[in-house]
Each structure stands twice: as C-alpha cells, then as structure tokens.
Amino acid sequence: MADYVSSAVLQQIAEADESSTIDVFDRLATAVSRQFDRECEVANDFFVAAVSGNPGIATRTFITNGTRYLAVPPYESGSITEITIDGNAVTLGDKDTYREINGYLLLTRDCSEFTEVSITARFGFAAIPADIVQACIEQALFMWRRKDLAFADMSGVSAAALAAEFTPTFEAVAKRYREIYSSRNYFA
C-alpha cells in the first residue's frame, strides 16, 4: 500500500511550532487552497490571478442558457483571442456578433438552449480576491491549532470550535463563490 504522507513529514509536523522554517506551512497553504477550491466546486487553482507568471490563456467551452447573455468565468477583459459559436469562427471585435459587458458576452442573436460557444482568453482574476485570502488564512490557522487537540483543550478552546469543520468566514466565503462559479450551479 502507498502512504499519502511520509513518516519524515509527520515527524516535522509533530515537532513544528509556529516559528518553524520548515515547509510545513507551505503544505498547509496548499492544502487549504485546494480545500477552498473543492468547497467552491471549481477546478484546482481557479482563483489564481491571471498575472504573476500564470498566463491563464485557455480555451473554454460554454453552453448558452437560451438567452443572449453568456456568463464567462473570470477573465481579463479584452484578452479574447478567439470565439466560435457552434463551430463557426467569429470575427474578433465584431460588434454585430457580440459585446463584452461585465463578465458576460452579449450575443447579438438569440441562442437556443444548447448553443455551444468556445472562447480563448486569459482566464483568471486580476488578483486573488481579498476575502478568499482572509478565509484561507483563518482556515489554515484553525487547522494548525486544531492539530494538537490536547493543547487546544488546555488552552480553553471550546469543544464546538474543535468539532467544526470550517471557520465561519471560510464557510461563508466558499458558499458565496460556490453560488457564483460552481459547475453544478445550473441556474447561474
């Protein structure tokens, strides 16, 4: 059987304190970031900024909902390099075909419920939203402090807090972004 964590890592974590220089906190930051992605029901690294070395250029395919408005997940406005509608290439900047408006493509023709639109653009955020950063900080510190339940108990941390899966901030922020970006959100 394969172990998901090595005994050396477990020893590092058991011996680490908040002033440690070892990579325990790098692992914790990665773990809480992936946990946030999972709670929002999005792909890993969904909220990473499109800048700072992450080119973010990708082609994504969307299905329209029967209206002329197509919600496009975070992308850099003006970065669209290609659009196809039902396999037909669209001339970029053709205002007779589409317009970019606040995270939506406004298509100039009505689209059936199953019109397929492929967009190549720089997807991502200008910066990781501050509320996500704060939620992840709180959740990571919560996870760190909860690792030693005996110490937490002696420190007077309530049993309800120890039993909680997420901090209130992490839960609220993840819920908000899940409602906006989840691939399971059929009524967006």
Per-residue model confidence as pLDDT tens digits over 91-143:
887 787 888 888 888 888 767 677 889 999 888 887 889 999 999 999 988 88
Predicted local distance difference test score (pLDDT) of residue 174: 97
Q: How many other C-beta atoms can be found within 10 angstroms of the C-beta atom of residue 149?
A: 11
Q: What share of the chain is helix, strand, coil (3-state, %, to 5)?
A: 35, 20, 45
Confidence of residue 177 (pLDDT cuts 50, 70, 90): very high
Residue 165, pLDDT > 70, answer: yes
Q: Is the dihedral of CA 91, 93, 96, 101 positive or negative?
A: positive
Per-residue model confidence as pLDDT tens digits over 42-87:
888 888 866 545 566 888 888 888 888 888 888 888 888 899 988 8
Q: Tell me the C-alpha distance between 82 and 166, whole Å.
A: 40
Predicted local distance difference test score (pLDDT) of residue 161: 67
Confidence of residue 1 (pLDDT cuts 50, 70, 90): low
Confidence of residue 160 (pLDDT cuts 50, 70, 90): low
Confidence of residue 187 (pLDDT cuts 50, 70, 90): very low
Greatest CA separation found in the chain? Answer: 68
**Residue 121 and residue 79 in contact, taking contact as beta carbons nearer than 8 Å:** yes
Amino acid at 172: A
